Amino acid sequence: MILITLDIGKASVTKDQHEVRSIRVADKSGSINLSLWDEPGTLLQPGDIIRVNKAYASVFKSALTLYIGKGGELHKLGDFCLVFSETPNMSEEVYNAPPPGGNNAPGAAPGGSGNNNAPARPPHSRKSNPPNK
């Protein structure tokens, strides 16, 4: 996927002395936080166009975050020349995430979507027209 870097967060240092940094990236579908470890995070600037492959998204601290998987790569392609949208921000807190290990929330019907916030559908009814005389 090809992305533009929007914001570079401050680095956090893990107990193993690795630097982890959150970088907000975007494409035309929206934006998301990309988590980068060690040197790659220090090489990017806002406005850089990057290509990321073998990436995956996962929820971390109630926010959807993009990670580069094992064997994945990040390449800088250029800068400031990509159509993108900052909204929706896919890394805003996830309030209605399904519980881990299943999609049935308490009170949800078995086999249901677990979405208890969906509006209720009216009962299905059919009116019959009187026969023409």
26 and 85 Cβ atoms separated by less than 8 Å = yes
Q: Which residue's entry shows tokens 């929820």?
A: 59
Residue range 73-108, pLDDT digits in tens: 999 998 777 778 788 888 886 656 556 665 544 444
Regarding beta strands 19-27 and 48-60, do their DSSP bridges make them parallel or antiparallel, or are they unpaired?
Answer: unpaired
Asked whether the CA dihedral 91, 97, 102, 103 is positive or negative, the reply is negative
d(CA 109, CA 99) in angstroms, rounded, equals: 15
d(CA 32, CA 22) in angstroms, rounded, equals: 10
Task: Supply the pLDDT for residue 92.
Answer: 80
Half-sphere exposure of 131 (CA within 13 A, CB side): 1
Task: Supply the pLDDT for residue 114.
Answer: 44
| Domains located in the chain, CATH noted | 2-79 (2.40.50.140)
Residue range 32-72, pLDDT digits in tens: 999 999 888 888 999 999 999 999 999 988 899 999 999 99
Task: Supply the pLDDT for residue 83.
Answer: 75
Task: Supply the pLDDT for residue 48.
Answer: 93
Q: Which residue has the higher pLDDT, 130 or 31?
A: 31
